[in-house]
Amino acid sequence: MPETTIRELASETEWKSAFPVMRQLRDHLDRDAYLDYLERMSADGYRLFGRFVGDELVAVAGVDILTNMYYGRHLWVFDLVTDADHRSEGYGEELVEFLVEWAEDRGCEKVALSSGLQRSDAHRFYEESVEMERASYVFTRDVA
């Protein structure tokens, strides 16, 4: 059985290798836009982690540690996706558990994320598989 690992993806080469998996969540991005966002976001604290089985990247998570008045110091999960060919194999759960421990080691009080209303399978995963609570609705408004 191949070795399984989770590690930070910090170089442009590693970011490029993660694009096919990330694109399954962020399908509106081409590779150049994705890399541009990663460059700017990582300068502000964003970190990208990958879940590997052997040399194969099977899931990614993009996170940042934030502080606000309603969650305190917390880990915000901006991106979390398991490759479609590897869903329901436990890799997403393992990645979330890694993030919870990583956040706890850094003094975070909570792990939080936002998920699109249409993503009912993801909501079921968050509530049933990784024991997250539905806490709020997120409202947006375009400014342009």
- Name the nearest CA neighbour of 130 among 74, 77, 70, 52: 77
Predicted pLDDT at 38: 97
Classify residue 107 as left (phi > 0), alpha (psi -120 to 50) or beta. left
pLDDT tens per residue, range 62-116: 999 999 999 999 999 999 999 999 999 889 999 999 999 999 999 999 999 887 7
Q: How far apart are CA 100 and CA 21, in angstroms?
A: 21
Predicted pLDDT at 80: 95
Query: Average pLDDT, whole number, for the chain?
Result: 92
For the packed helices 12-22 and 31-43, what is the interaxial angle rounded to 10 degrees? 120
Tell me the pLDDT band of 31, cut-offs 50, 70 and 90.
very high
Q: How far is CA 93 from CA 26, 96, 113, in A?
A: 20, 5, 15
61: enclosing H helix or E strand? strand 56-68
Predicted pLDDT at 90: 87
Statement: residue 1 has pLDDT above 80: no
